[in-house]
Amino acid sequence: MDLQATLNSLREGNVSLSQIIVSLWEAIERREEELRAFISLADPDQLVRDGEELAGLPLAGLPIAIKDNLITRDFPTTCGSKILSGFRPPFDATCVARLRAAGAQVQGKTNLDEFAMGSSTEHSAFGPTRNPHDPERVPGGSSGGSAAAVAAEEALAALGTDTGGSVRQPAALCGVVGLRPTYGRVSRWGLVAFASSLDTVGVLARSVRDAALLLSLIAGPDPRDATCLPLPPENYLESLGEGALDGLRIGVPKEYVPAELSPAARALVDRWCALAREQGAEVVEISLPLTEYALPTYYLIASAEASANLARYDGVRYGLRLPGEQVAQMMAATRTAGFGREVKRRIALGTFALSAGYYDQYYGKAQRVRTLIAREFQAAFREVDLIMGPTSPTPAFRLGEKEDPIAMYLSDVFTLPSALAGLPAISIPGGEVEGLPFGLQLIAPRLAEGKLLGAAYALEQVLG
Ligand code: GLN
């Protein structure tokens, strides 16, 4: 049952809020010790008590899981890092405040790669999350806790964040729906910054219609985030209908179906094309030749922004502080102990890329390539309505399998280009490869979430 089916049976009196919460906690008792999707959890009795007063609101007191890089006033916010230990923010992120205003409650905070840097949730100071479909495998990342909680039915739905793929890739690996909105569609106020020009708040859900509902609730202008677009909120549920694929032109980039893709994965892509055609869509091959430059471009820009954003963790203002004779020693000791290896790698990379003498050679060049990638998508969208392909090149890999950072980074090759271009995209369950979930990704032009969700909904119906 998805969130909306649960809401309907609650409204019809077939189930009580207390029964819903008990059944979520039954799944948590059964699976959480092994999966470790959550870093912190609400008290279920408190949720039942507080939920009574929310009965009249759209989400009627239902709990939603929140990725732990989104600020919440009633839980610590850790970002999966030791450096924030003891940090208790006094406010809510805008997206969290909007969910609460709609009658949701915070179920708990979900595990993530430290500061959202990663694709497996193995880089968390709290230990890895495991994939509910096979606990020897990763759930993807960095929103791996949110994806695993939804897939294991420990949560009805969750918020995540997507900088370069962190909502879509874990959704694909865990077999749930993951929506990344247009950059600027949802306020970043209270999202702990990783790479500010790329960070977005997204949704992990059991169905496309739940993703549409939750996006409708969290989107909209916010004076506290200057990059949040001044567009009125929309009701994306109105975009969902069976006939949404009829007459659409869908482009499948040949760079997204490379020879390295397994035969089973290629067969699934063929199946998706056939299903879309049966629904009245025209499916054509397109080419996005700049795809191969997205990975180096992303890692230069994201690391450069991260090195600047993470400078604020200096032992003075937040969380951890280790002793040191002078202030500089205190800061060095705190940052050495507080950050994990991957975060340190990115800070080092980013600081180098921004350093005097190299700035234009690396960061400046990456910015120009980013513009070209965005233009390449714009040109493609003059020919097609939507772009379709796999979300990630492989299904879930084993814990410890990708020790080499480049191997890890490659699991985002199909999500990075659209992230650089600020485009909305969604991953829906597309079938199985090697007995594991494999995600279908749709990418839309800027601000075309309605079209994106409509097509995803229609494909979800026929994929079964
Ligand atoms: N896996 C990518 C990275 O490590 C994307 C992360 C994200 O979207 N937060 O940067």
Q: Select which of 40, 120, 142, 216 is catalytic.
A: 142
Average pLDDT over residues 395-402: 98
Average pLDDT over residues 423-440: 98
pLDDT-based confidence at residue 455 (cuts at 50, 70, 90): very high
Atom of ligand 1 nearest to the CA of 198: 8
How many angstroms does the Cα of residue 437 sit away from the middle of ligand 1? 20
Indicate if 303 belongs to the active site.
no
How many angstroms does the Cα of residue 83 sit away from the middle of ligand 1? 19
- Kindly list the distances between the CA atom of residue 216 and the CA atoms of 179, 297, 305, 368, 432, in Å, as whole numbers in the listed order: 12, 31, 29, 33, 30
Single out the residue of 399, 387, 378, 401 nearest to residue 444, CA to CA: 387
Atom of ligand 1 nearest to the CA of 342: 4
How many angstroms does the Cα of residue 163 sit away from the middle of ligand 1? 6
Asked if omega into 427 is within 30° of 0 (cis), the reply is no
Q: How far is the C-alpha of 337 from the C-alpha of 46, rounded, in Å?
A: 36
pLDDT-based confidence at residue 464 (cuts at 50, 70, 90): confident
CA angle 128, 133, 135 (to 5 degrees): 35
Q: What is the CB neighbour count within 10 angstroms for residue 289?
A: 10
Burial degree of 56 (CB within 10 A; 0-12, 13-18, 19+): exposed
Q: Select which of 166, 187, 207, 307 is catalytic.
A: 166
> Mind listing the pLDDT tens digit for each residue in 244-303?
999 999 999 999 999 999 999 999 999 999 999 999 999 999 999 999 999 999 999 999
User: Residue 387 above 90 pLDDT?
Assistant: yes
| φ and ψ of 115, to 5 deg | 50, 30
pLDDT-based confidence at residue 358 (cuts at 50, 70, 90): confident
Q: Output the six-digit token pair for 95.
A: 């997206």
How many angstroms does the Cα of residue 166 sit away from the middle of ligand 1? 5
Atom of ligand 1 nearest to the CA of 194: 9
Q: What is the pLDDT of residue 359?
A: 87
> Mind listing the pLDDT tens digit for each residue in 299-336?
999 999 999 999 999 999 889 999 999 999 999 999 99
How many angstroms does the Cα of residue 173 sit away from the middle of ligand 1? 15
Q: How far is the C-alpha of 132 from the C-alpha of 121, rounded, in Å?
A: 13
| Phi-psi domain of 197 (left: phi exceeds 0; alpha: psi -120 through 50; beta: other) | alpha
How many angstroms does the Cα of residue 118 sit away from the middle of ligand 1? 5
Q: What is the pLDDT of residue 393?
A: 98
The one-letter code for the residue type at 257 is V
> Which residues are registered as beta bridge partners of 433?
436
Looking at the chain, the whole-number percentage of residues with pLDDT higher than 70 is 100
DSSP percent split of the chain into helix, strand, coil, nearest 5: 45, 15, 40
The one-letter code for the residue type at 215 is L
Non-local CB neighbours of 252 within 8 Å, separated by 6+ positions: 269, 273, 283, 284, 285, 286, 387, 388, 389
The one-letter code for the residue type at 85 is S
Q: What is the pLDDT of residue 318?
A: 84
User: Residue 132 above 90 pLDDT?
Assistant: yes
Q: How far is the C-alpha of 455 from the C-alpha of 386, rounded, in Å?
A: 9
User: Residue 133 above 90 pLDDT?
Assistant: yes
> Mind listing the pLDDT tens digit for each residue in 138-148?
999 999 999 99
- DSSP notation for 48-97: HHHHGGGTTSTTTT-EEEEETTB--TTS---TT-GGGTT---SS--HHHH
Minimum CA distance residue for ligand 1 atom 10: 117
* Domains of the chain, first to last: 1-464 (3.90.1300.10)
Mutate-to-test residue for ligand 1 from 113, 121, 142, highest number of ligand atoms within 8 A of CB: 142
User: Residue 356 above 90 pLDDT?
Assistant: no
**CA quadruple 143, 439, 248, 235: dihedral, nearest 10:** -30
Atom of ligand 1 nearest to the CA of 117: 4
Q: What is the pLDDT of residue 285?
A: 98
How many angstroms does the Cα of residue 412 sit away from the middle of ligand 1? 8
C-beta of residue 27 within 8 angstroms of C-beta of residue 153:
yes
Q: What is the pLDDT of residue 242?
A: 81
Atom of ligand 1 nearest to the CA of 163: 8
pLDDT-based confidence at residue 174 (cuts at 50, 70, 90): very high
Query: Helix 17-35 to helix 44-51 angle, to the nearest 10 degrees?
Result: 150
Which of these ranges, 33-42, 115-124, 404-413, has the smallest mean pLDDT?
A: 404-413
How many angstroms does the Cα of residue 178 sit away from the middle of ligand 1? 14
Measuring from each residue's beta carbon to the nearest atom of ligand 1, which residues come in under 6 Å? 116-119, 142, 162-166, 194, 302, 412
Q: How far is the C-alpha of 14 from the C-alpha of 245, rounded, in Å?
A: 35
345 three-state secondary structure: helix
Q: How far is the C-alpha of 149 from the C-alpha of 28, rounded, in Å?
A: 9
Q: What is the pLDDT of residue 183?
A: 98
Q: How far is the C-alpha of 108 from the C-alpha of 111, rounded, in Å?
A: 10
> Which residues are registered as beta bridge partners of 65?
108, 158
Q: What is the pLDDT of residue 105?
A: 98
Indicate if 166 belongs to the active site.
yes
Burial degree of 134 (CB within 10 A; 0-12, 13-18, 19+): middle
Q: How far is the C-alpha of 196 from the C-alpha of 335, rounded, in Å?
A: 21
Atom of ligand 1 nearest to the CA of 166: 8
Q: How far is the C-alpha of 449 from the C-alpha of 46, rounded, in Å?
A: 36
The per-residue pLDDT of the chain, averaged, comes to: 97
> Which residues are registered as beta bridge partners of 384?
none
Show the DSSP H helices in 339-364 as ranges.
Answer: 341-354, 359
Looking at the chain, the whole-number percentage of residues with pLDDT higher than 90 is 97
User: Residue 93 above 90 pLDDT?
Assistant: yes
Single out the residue of 318, 291, 260 nearest to residue 420, CA to CA: 291
Indicate if 402 belongs to the active site.
no
Atom of ligand 1 nearest to the CA of 299: 10
Average pLDDT over residues 359-379: 96
Q: What is the pLDDT of residue 250?
A: 98
Q: What is the pLDDT of residue 32?
A: 98
> Mind listing the pLDDT tens digit for each residue in 201-239?
999 999 999 999 999 999 999 999 999 999 998 999 999
How many angstroms does the Cα of residue 297 sit away from the middle of ligand 1? 13
